[in-house]
């Protein structure tokens, strides 16, 4: 299936990439897929609540992808 894959890390720095990907998807009428990139080394230096949140988000994303 053709489409556009946009890898992002999240946060303000990703906004231009997200905006351009959306524009390209509209121009080409192709589906747009976002790939959230996580640096696992980063998790060792963050608070445990943030790790819990990221873990939950990744589990939900995995569940969603498994249904597609």
What is the token pair recorded at 56?
A: 């939950």
Overall pTM surpassing 0.85 (yes/no): no
Cα 5 to Cα 32: distance, rounded to the nearest angstrom: 6
- In the block, tokens 């489409």 appear at 3
E strand intervals along 1-68: 4-8, 32-36
Listed in sequence order, the residues at least 6 apart from 17 whose beta carbon sits closer than 8 Å to its beta carbon are 6, 8
Task: Report pLDDT digits (tens) over 37-62.
Answer: 877 666 666 666 677 777 777 777 66
- Domain assignments of the chain as residue spans, ordered by start: 1-37, 39-68
Q: What is the pLDDT of residues 27-42, one digit of tens each?
A: 999 999 988 887 766 6
Task: For residue 5, list its beta bridge partners.
Answer: 33
Structure-block tokens of residue 44: 């060792």
């Amino acid at each position: 299936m053709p489409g556009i894959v946009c890898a992002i890390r999240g946060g303000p720095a990703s906004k231009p990439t997200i905006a351009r990907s959306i524009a390209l998807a509209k121009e080409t009428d192709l589906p747009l897929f976002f790939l959230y990139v996580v640096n696992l080394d980063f998790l060792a230096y963050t608070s445990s609540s943030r790790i819990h949140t990221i873990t939950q988000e990744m589990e939900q994303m995995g569940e969603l992808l498994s249904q597609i």
